[in-house]
Amino acid sequence: MGMLTVSNLSRSFGDHRVLDDVSFDVRPGRMTGFLGANGSGKTTTMRIILGVLAAHGGTVAWHGRAMTPAQRRRFGYMPEERGLYPKMKVGEQIAWLGRLHGLSDTDARARTTRLLEQLELDNRADDRLEELSLGNQQRAQVAAALVHDPMMLILDEPFSGLDPLAVDIVLAVLRDRAAGGVPVLFSSHQLSLVEQLCDDVVIISGGSIAASGTREELHDRYGTTRFELVVDGDAGWVRDQPGVRVVSVDGPRALFEPDAGGERRVLEAALRRGEVRSFVPVVPSLEEIFKEAV
Amino acid sequence: MTTTTPSRVDAPADGEDVSFWSATRLVAEREVRMFLRTKGFWIGLAVIVVGLFAAAVLPSLFGGGSTSVATVGPEAARAVAAADFDVRAVADADAARDLVRSDEVEAAVLPDPAGTLRVVALSEAPTEVVSALSASPPVHLLEPGEVSPAQRQLVILVFALVFLMVAMGGVAIAQGTVTEKQTRIVEILVVTVPVRALLAGKVLGHTLLTLGQVVVIAIAAPLALSMGGQSALLGVVAPALGWFVPFVMAGFVLLSGMWAVAGSLVSRQEDLGSTMGLVMMLVMGPYFLVMFLSDNATALAVLSFVPFSAAVAMPVRMFVGQAETWEALMSLGLLAVTAALIIVLAGRIFSGALLQTGSRVALARAWRSSE
């Protein structure tokens, strides 16, 4: 059972149904990637979890019981459209948000300092938010979501607009929280990026859940594992092997999908014929899984 | 490195939750702190205080010099000696006329061939000199006015202007609310604290700021008046000032809920004009009505009980001595109840409108979509 359980959520805007029977779990200590194209219902789902938007059906439960507003207030939230006070100093602003979440003044300041250090933003603490670059504003936004040590993190596209270095910094901070037992749900439409980041995956399409599970489960379920063989001579002979569907042959390189045990027979055949340069399974990317699931 | 204690994460209980009052206080604290940093706040206050001192002190500096009079002969000198004139004795009538022509004296007093005295002036009869030389009948006023009509007008103007400044100060609440909607920080705030605490904090914060300004003005005004030597006026203004402070504050609270609603209905600063119109009317209307109708006791009496104009009309009535204490108390009570009512209504509309972005939110829709 998940710590956060979303069950049968539905929501319409006018006649347009944006969420239809959406259910999934978010488990403690894991980074759950919430994937979907733009407009697929990611933000709507997150806003409903946080109580910013009302659901027209379904429930959101925390430890199996309907979530209370008091519990929601201990979540950390990063909205899709970023926003902090433009004219307020970064450090002051994050500490203030911490106090708003119930921290003492001293605690709030101490945690702000620590977070800004972790996010490598400590040298900008006394600058007004509007003076920061967009990437740095985004780091400040992450700090705002984390300052009160939330018991759950809900981050809408936390990595969009970050340069690769900043992605690593933010990711390290998030992983740190997840390692402490905090469930992290984050949405993204950049599949290749999410591939490396998440433990669990929820794929939403057109307002319904298309697939969910651990990354490995999804790979098993959707991706047929392929193998790539590289030999010395021409690899065309692979086409004649039984129990193998060849995807492509390019000179010494062959890509094929074997039946059960088929890859072993191909490897043995290759060894009999001469030198094998390389023989590797090709795991399907999340992008391929996504395309297949949606 | 991890700062999270697992026990806290696992606890399904509510844990520490910020109370409504703490949330309100924190929101108010931020509003005050941020506002004290803006230049506009201090400039506005400085302009008012400097203006007060200027209005009270300058007249006595410029208008204060005593009238200068040239005299010819001992009889003329004796006649003006009693009055507080700057007397210059000259040899003959021609010398006196020259002084008048060259504007060095305002009038000359000469012996008349008929044996009496003659006053010579340039273009207008010098009222002060003439009345000093003539025997006026004794005047007994049944209800002596301690302030001149000009002073009265000035005090009413100052009351109305301060009210205008205070009431328009509420625009900051509307602008702040729009900023929060525009930057979407409102989503974080709404997840963190009750929406009504957000409204309450804004109203509280700006009420405190305004109270600070009004108190400064209420202290500066008597100081300015005593510096200007206007102690008679001070005696009448002081009690009215005592009434003005609570009235103007209650008036501010009344309007602040409406300013917040005006801000919550739109999502961009550019659209704020469309929702502020009504509130502006409720500020400007009383200002102009009191200014124009200050001589009409009946109209002023009505205005002093209408909550929106009471904040300025009732202190003015107290100042001119047209209202009894019980009237002021009743009007203040009415104003306070109305303000409380408006804040409650505003709370509902504010909660309903705050998270709706895009085009302007209709009042009825905001009302319905609130829980």
Q: A149 and B179 in contact by Cβ < 8 A?
A: no
- Per CB-CB distance under 8 Å, the chain A contacts of B28 are none
Q: A70 and B15 in contact by Cβ < 8 A?
A: yes
Spell out the residues 6+ positions from residue B367 whose beta carbon is closer than 8 angstroms to its own. B348, B349, B352
Query: Mean pLDDT, to the nearest integer, of B100-116?
Result: 83
In this structure, of A89-98, B115-124, B244-253, the range with the lowest mean pLDDT score is B115-124
Q: B18 and A182 in contact by Cβ < 8 A?
A: no
Q: Which residue of B has its CA nearest to A174?
A: B2
The one-character DSSP state at A198 is -
Digit-coded pLDDT (tens) for B127-160: 778 877 777 777 776 666 666 777 788 888 888 8
pLDDT computed for residue B146 by the predictor = 62
Q: A180 and B355 in contact by Cβ < 8 A?
A: no
Task: For chains A and B, count residue pairs whose Cβ atoms are closer than 8 Å.
Answer: 104
Digit-coded pLDDT (tens) for A71-88: 888 899 998 877 899 999
Dihedral in degrees, nearest 10, Cα atoms B160, B164, B166, B168 = 170
Plot region of A267 (φ>0 → left; ψ -120 to 50 → alpha; else → beta): alpha
Question: How does the average pLDDT of chain A come out, rounded?
Answer: 88
Q: Which of B1, B9, B22 sits opposite A181 (nearest CB)?
A: B9
Q: Is the dihedral of CA A240, A243, A246, A249 positive or negative?
A: negative
- Please answer whether residues A55 and A9 qualify as being in contact, where contact means their C-beta atoms are separated by less than 8 angstroms: yes
Can you tell me the distance from the alpha carbon of A176 to that of A195, in angstroms, rounded to the nearest whole number? 18
Q: A151 and B187 in contact by Cβ < 8 A?
A: no
Give yes or no for B137 touching A (CB within 8 A): no
Q: B2 and A85 in contact by Cβ < 8 A?
A: no
- Per CB-CB distance under 8 Å, the chain B contacts of A110 are none
Q: A100 and B34 in contact by Cβ < 8 A?
A: no
Residue A131 above 90 pLDDT?
yes
B39 to chain A nearest CA, in Å?
A: 13
Q: Which residue of A has its CA nearest to B26?
A: A100
Query: Mean pLDDT, to the nearest integer, of A198-220?
Result: 87
Query: Mean pLDDT, to the nearest integer, of A237-263?
Result: 85
- Per CB-CB distance under 8 Å, the chain B contacts of A182 are 4, 9
Per CATH, domain A4-220 is 3.40.50.300: yes
pLDDT computed for residue B202 by the predictor = 94
- Per CB-CB distance under 8 Å, the chain B contacts of A83 are 180, 182-188
Query: Mean pLDDT, to the nearest integer, of B339-363?
Result: 86
* Angle, vertex CA B252, rays to CA B211 and CA B39, nearest 5: 55
Q: Which of B4, B26, B189 sits opposite A181 (nearest CB)?
A: B4
User: What is the amino acid identity at position A73?
Assistant: R
CATH code assigned to A223-293: 3.30.70.250
Give the CA radius of gyration of chain B.
30
**A117 or A243, which is more confident?**
A117
Give yes or no for B118 touching A (CB within 8 A): no
- Per CB-CB distance under 8 Å, the chain A contacts of B34 are 85, 87-88
Query: Mean pLDDT, to the nearest integer, of B204-229?
Result: 90
**A291 or B300, which is more confident?**
B300
Give yes or no for A89 touching B (CB within 8 A): no
Digit-coded pLDDT (tens) for B63-87: 555 778 888 888 888 877 777 788 8
B274 to chain A nearest CA, in Å?
A: 24
If contacts are CB pairs under 8 Å, which of residues 20-49 in chain B contact chain A?
Answer: 22-23, 26-27, 30, 34
The residues spanned by each domain of chain A are 4-220, 223-293
- Per CB-CB distance under 8 Å, the chain B contacts of A176 are 1-2
Give yes or no for A74 touching B (CB within 8 A): yes
- Please answer whether residues A125 and A116 qualify as being in contact, where contact means their C-beta atoms are separated by less than 8 angstroms: yes
- Per CB-CB distance under 8 Å, the chain A contacts of B10 are 28, 181
Residue B321 above 80 pLDDT?
yes
ipTM associated with this complex: 0.79
A37 to chain B nearest CA, in Å?
A: 22
